[in-house]
Amino acid sequence: MAEATFAKGLEGVIAAESSICKINGEIGLLSYRGYEIADLAENSNFEETTWLLLFGHLPSATELADFTKKLASRRAIDSYIVDVLRALPRTTHPMIALQAAVAAHGSVGEIPAGPDPRNVDRAIDLIARFPTMVAAFARIREGLEPIAPREDLGHGQNFLYMVNGEVPDEETGHIFDVCLILHMEHSFNASTFTGRVVASSLAPMDASVSAAVGSLYGPLHGGANEQVLHMLKDVPGPDAAAQWVADALASKRKIMGMGHRVYKAKDPRSFILESFLKRISEKRGDDRDYRTLKTIERTMGEIVEKQGKKIYPNVDFFSGSLYQLLGIQTEEFTPIFAIARVVGWTAHILEQWQENRIFRPRALYTGETELKWKPVSDR
Ligand code: COA
């Protein structure tokens, strides 16, 4: 057996081979299957990038048309899943509701784990139905009836329609689709790793994906953009932001949406989100958040540079404010992340099953040894 090393949080550990996503954190590059994220954000759409991540190459025109149709035709969820969502208390966090709905989705037509073509279909079902599950619970917890999906709308546009009951304008639909592309995949993050670990035991697709949803729920992973909004409530405004950052850093407070374990440069996704936030802020005549965030970024850059640290905006820095301007409620931010990331999760689970070996690391034991059991009367 190879000599074991210990790395807290598995930092720097390579846990598997993968051809899905490449990150160069030093210079801030991210690519899916060899295509730069900025190229995909500029030119692709949800359906095409989904195909790329699942099948490893860009689709032909016919493949794309068929796939787009297939995804749209599978959006509806069975009534028993809506019943599961209705049975939950209205105070349930939407991520818990989503995890329950995905587990319930797995209770019908279970397919054995492994490289079975039916699992590709299962992945497509989940990708198509995540928005319907999230939107249904968003309405149920408001005391409203779920809205059935429409096949004639794009993936993101249909989701917003199912939440609000109104078809968003094309620009909003497009921006939302690009946001989904940006969040689809990010290599071995906690939730993707969770999904692969569960799948490696040969648990079925839906069980593996519902575990990944649970992993994404945590504030150290999926919840950071929500934290940025809380932070912005604290900052008195764009003009006071520089002083606010200086004070926060002096008292060793973390600035939300800044810094990353892997990126030591500005996250490539944050450039795109920033440009959308700027555009929508100007259109809506409400650029308070945008100007505040830019001042925070600039001031923080100046301060940490002097300290020799590399801390830049990550994907969450601009996205919360953008979602807010698009009329999305804060509690839906993490479920929206899941609507996108389910593509990465399922692509990874399918890859895991190509050459599966169960994940089984070891622990560095730090407990007692050689104790002798005593009867309870002697303890
Ligand atoms: N604000 C202020 N200081 C920060 C910072 C931030 N957002 N991120 C990192 N730093 C500082 C740390 O205080 C530490 O300073 P020190 O060496 O003087 O102790 C140094 O930079 C290294 O940071 P560390 O927390 O060890 O990096 P990490 O790789 O373990 O953590 C994050 C990465 C993302 C958890 C961290 O940057 C963070 O908490 N960011 C804010 C939350 C966030 O936006 N999360 C979403 C990530 S996509």
Instruction: Give the residue, out of 253, 309, 314, with the most ligand 1 atoms within 8 A of its beta carbon, to mutate for a pocket test.
Output: 309
Residue 251 is predicted with a pLDDT of: 95
Q: Which pLDDT belongs to residue 188?
A: 95
Index of the ligand 1 atom closest to the CA of residue 261: 29
* Average pLDDT, consecutive stretches of 10 residues, N- to C-terminus, the chain (379 residues): 83 94 95 98 97 98 98 97 98 96 92 93 97 98 97 95 94 94 96 98 97 92 87 92 95 92 93 96 94 96 92 94 92 94 98 97 96 96
pLDDT score for 1: 60
* Residue 221 exposed, middle or buried by CB count within 10 Å (0-12, 13-18, 19+): middle
- 10 Å Cβ neighbour count for 329? 12
Which structure tokens are listed for 376? 């309870």
Q: What is the pLDDT of residue 109?
A: 83
Beta carbon of 228 within 6 Å of any ligand 1 atom: no
Which residues have a catalytic role annotated? 260, 316
Task: State how far the Cα of 209 lies from the Cα of 187, in Å rounded to an integer.
Answer: 15
Atom 38 in ligand 1: residue holding the nearest Cα: 259
For residue 167, give both structure tokens. Answer: 């078809």
Residue nearest to atom 41 of ligand 1 (CA): 256
For residues 119 and 349, give the distance between their C-alpha atoms in angstroms, rounded to a whole number. Answer: 10
